[in-house]
Amino acid sequence: MSHYRRPRVGGAIYFFTVVTYRRQPILTHPPVRRSLREALTLTSSERPFETIAIVLLPDHLHCLWQLPEGDADFSTRWRLVKARLSRAVAPPGYGLADGGPSRARRREHTVWQSRFWEHLIRNEDNLRRHAEYIHYNPVKHGYASRPATWPYSTFAKFVRHGWYAPHWGTVEPDTVAGWNAAGE
């Protein structure tokens, strides 16, 4: 059994990348978006967290979550979100054999890749860079000409709060050019 070393800092902000199984382009379909919103809302009501920023692309999502003080259990939260969405969008038995015997034994659906990628936010600059990465991602992948035209992100919220100008991202930000999700 693998043992993953993940940072565990209660009350911290984390950046996540979560990918669909075999990069299926399903996350921007209206019923899947609604089910994902419901899964996030229900999970947040049971195990609180604040979504600071998020972007949905067809086959993956990026987000920033702030966990409550003293709580670092983001893995359970993602397990619940992924399971709820899988049950909502996949009929019983859907895809259990498609993922191979290992996934079938664990009764995993083929909606999500089994893991996720996370990064502990270290400081304000790291937070800003990750938020910019999130909001510029649809442009980077060719889904939008600028962040303001992509409807599946928190970009508009950042503009409303005055954190971005409405035209932000018409030119690739320095923090996004040649930058990987780890900010390195």
Catalytic residue annotation: 152
C-alpha closest to that of 152 among 70, 67, 58: 58
Q: How far apart are the first and last CA of the chain?
A: 29
Cα(44)–Cα(87) distance, integer angstroms: 18
C-alpha closest to that of 110 among 93, 100, 97, 95: 95
Strand, coil or helix: 43: helix
DSSP state of 167: T
Question: What token pair was written down for 49?
Answer: 């967290």
